[in-house]
Copies of this chain bind each other. A is one copy, B any other.
Amino acid sequence: MIDVRLLTEQFEPGQFIGAFTAAHPGLGGICSFVGEVRGAGGVEALELSHYAPLTLPGMAALAQTASDRFGLMGILILHRTGQMAPGEPIVCVSAASTHRRAAFDAVDYAMDHLKSQSWFWKREKRAGQWHWIEPRADDYADLSRWD
C-alpha cells in the first residue's frame, strides 16, 4: 500500500503507523522515522508552504520509486504544511517489508529525498520575526549517497 498525505493539522504519528502496520499482515518488519519541529536557536514557530500541483505528486512519485527500488510491501509518507510549534511532528515515513534492511534503507532514502528535493519552503519565527530557511549543504551530501 502506498499512502501519501499532506496534513494541515497536527497529527499523531502512532495512529497512522498503527493503521499502516495493520494493513500489511505478513510483514517482517516496519521501519519508521518521525521528525519534529526543533525549538533550538530560539525558534518559536515554523511554517511550511508548498505548491499543491507539484508537492503531492512529487511525494507520490518518491513513494513509488522507493517502493520499487527496495521491494516494499508498503510505504507511508506524511508531511505537515502550515504553521507548527516546536515539538510538533512535521514528517513521518514508514516502510513495511519482509526484510529489515529494505525497510531501513527505504525510509532513509525517502527522508533524504524529502529533505532535499520536495517542494516545500520553510520559514521560522525567531524573536517575533520570520526568516526563510535556505537548503543545507548536508541535505545534498545525504542525497548523493543514493546515486
Q: Which size class do A's interface residues fall under?
A: 20 to 34
Q: Given the interface contacts A26-B38, A38-B98, does A104 sit within 8 Å of B14 by beta carbon?
A: no
Which B residues are in CB contact (< 8 Å) with A111?
A: 100
Establish whether residues A103 and B33, one from each chain, have CB atoms under 8 Å apart when the complex forms: yes
Residue of B nearest to A100 (CB): B111
The A contact surface, by secondary structure, is mixed
Q: State which residues 1-49 of A face B: CB under 8 Å.
A: 12, 14-15, 17-18, 21, 25-36, 38-40
CB proximity of A27 to chain B, nearest CB, Å: 6
Residue of B nearest to A14 (CB): B14
Residue of B nearest to A115 (CB): B100
Bound Cα distance A40, B17 (Å): 23
Residue of B nearest to A21 (CB): B34
Contact of A17 among B14, B29, B103 (CB under 8 A): B14
- Identify the A interface with B (CB < 8 A): 12, 14-15, 17-18, 21, 25-36, 38-40, 86-87, 98, 100-101, 103-104, 107-108, 111, 115, 142
